[in-house]
Structure 1
Amino acid sequence: MQPDVLTYNRFYQRPLGAAAASIVGDMVMRHTPHVSGKRVVGLGYSLPYLERLMAEGALPVAFMPARQGVCHWPDSASPLSALVDVYDLPLADSSVDMVIAVHALEHANRPAAFLREIWRVLVPGGKVMIIVPNRRRMWAALEATPFGHGRPYSKGQLYTLMEDQMLSPLGWSTALMQPPCGIKLFAKSMRFVETPVRILGKNLGGALMVHADKQMYGTVVKSRRVPRTVPVVMGP
């Protein structure tokens, strides 16, 4: 079951959530260096990351799925958040420069349709950042954090899914190298552990991140091989 918006909000206000948002946010900014003046859509619960992009001059809106619920954001300005159907976004074709999906794809009942809708609203060459729980990592196994809900992905699975929907991966990384723990001192140490552990293995982080751009050329549908013989069950 997908956590609701209040659960996400409470998590990111706690020390563990604040540390996670800071670490993952650093990786987002590393892969999106030029956002000033760009129209950015956040899908799922992306507020901690949209706030950093907005501080760099991006023009963001936060779209939240109906099952999750929506909250007013930002607090000090006219609302830039809305409740939407993630399979039918209230946007024109080729109308945004970047989409960042956090706590979103892993909860999609139709992941291919979810990504195809992202493809529709992106401008030609537009960018998308997908952040999902990393399969076989501790963050995906523990339900105490939002990363422990929904379907986790491996890098290969996410690459294949995105390529099938004409989103061409440009690179990948992981974040949250240290297993989750609610102890305040433990949360504060997460940033210091992140870089040394990443040296041991790029795929050790609990959050998997793939950034891609929108392809404009068509894809060839993979043909299904038709068997030349049909199996028959013989009677006694």
Structure 2
Amino acid sequence: MDSAASGKSIIALDSWLQTPAGVYVRDWEQRRLDELTADIFGYNAVQIGTPLVDALAASRMPHKWLADTVLRPAGSAGASARPVALTLDAGELPFASQSMDLVVLPHVLEYAAEPHQVLREVERVLIPEGQLIICGFNPHSLWGLRQVTARVTGNRYLPEAGEFISMPRLKDWLKLLNMGVSHSHFGCYAPACRTEHWLKRYAFMDRAGPRSWPYFGAVYMVQAIKRVKGMRLIGPAWSRKSAKAPVAVPATNKHKEHG
């Protein structure tokens, strides 16, 4: 997927997230994100993309930023009530290496032109023992099956995306970057319904799903920790850091760092 197609898909996702099914997904993700981020300590946290989801609402970190991957006019479908600190390319993050305690990627990887590069950049900017949270659509679900059949019928349920990434595949990618998965969750077990009425009719599936078919939720959330070989932290890493905003790194300097 090129950058132009990626931008169009992200805009389509904005509109879809305001449909009854999109609100259903956002409600589940907001609850899980609030639970996870409330217990992650540090100084600097950034959410990249999907501003309709307030991923850092429950975070107690003193410095929290919302970054977006597309420029959205005020009042547009995907515009957030929170101020967007900067617009960036997720594959070239303008943050210093080891400057972030927490990075959240809500539905960024499946719409990224190079998801591997996005993860490499996130690993670079995270401090040792820093944490990453990823939200994604599960291709191994009723919604994923509907998306596959839509290639034939043309009747799409989810916005068109470059690639939906399964959780096992994502875990393999993270492992290659020395990112250890600490928690994973599946949610939204209702079939691919378009109306609030029918989504509520299938609410019993959300209660039974985690016990009966736990890996077939329409969306998932993965929490991972950056591991550094040969390093042992004594006490929380954030207790030894200064509370300074991350310093932007010019692209030329970043290439030198990679070298």
Encode CA deviations 1:43-98: one digit per residue, 9 max, x unaligned.
23153132xx32554543222224xx4355653x6x23422111111111122211
1:205 matched to 2:217? The reply is yes
Answer yes or no: is the 8 Å Cα contact 2:45–2:64 preserved in 1: yes
The one-letter code sitting in structure 1 at the alignment partner of 2:126 is: L
- Counterparts of 1:1-236 in structure 2, within 5 Å, are 1-2=5-6, 3-35=8-40, 38-50=43-55, 53-58=56-61, 59-66=63-70, 69-70=71-72, 74-75=80-81, 79-140=83-144, 141-142=146-147, 143-146=156-159, 149-189=161-201, 192-217=204-229
Contact in 2 for aligned 1:27/1:175 (Cα 8 Å): no
Residue matched to 1:234: none
Compute the displacement of 1:161 (Å). Answer: 0.4
Q: What is the alpha-carbon distance in structure 1 between the residues aligned to residue 207 and residue 94 of structure 2? A: 40
| Paired-residue identity, % | 23
**What amino acid maps onto 1:54 in structure 2?**
A
Q: Letter of the aligned partner of 2:69 in structure 1?
A: P
The change in CA–CA distance for 1:46 and 1:214 in structure 2 (over 3 A counts) is farther
Moved more, 104-113 or 120-129: 104-113
Aligned partner letter, 2:57: M
Which structure 2 segments of 5+ residues have no match?
Answer: 148-155, 231-259
Deviation per residue, 1:178-221 (Å, 9 max, x gap): 12211121234565531212210220101122110111128xxx
Change (3 A) 1:170 1:16: same
Measure, in 2, the Cα distance between the counterparts of 1:190 and 1:24.
18
User: Quick check: 159-168 or 57-66, which moved more?
Assistant: 57-66
How far off its partner does 1:13 sit?
2.5
Residues 214 and 113 of structure 1: CA distance in aligned 2, closer, same or farther (over 3 Å): same
Check 1:180–1:200 CA distance in 2 against 1; reply closer, same or farther (3 A cut): same
RMSD: 2.6
| Partner Cα distance (1:97, 1:209) in 2 | 18
Q: TM-score normalised to the size of structure 1?
A: 0.77
Structure 1: tracts of 5 or more residues without a match: 219-236
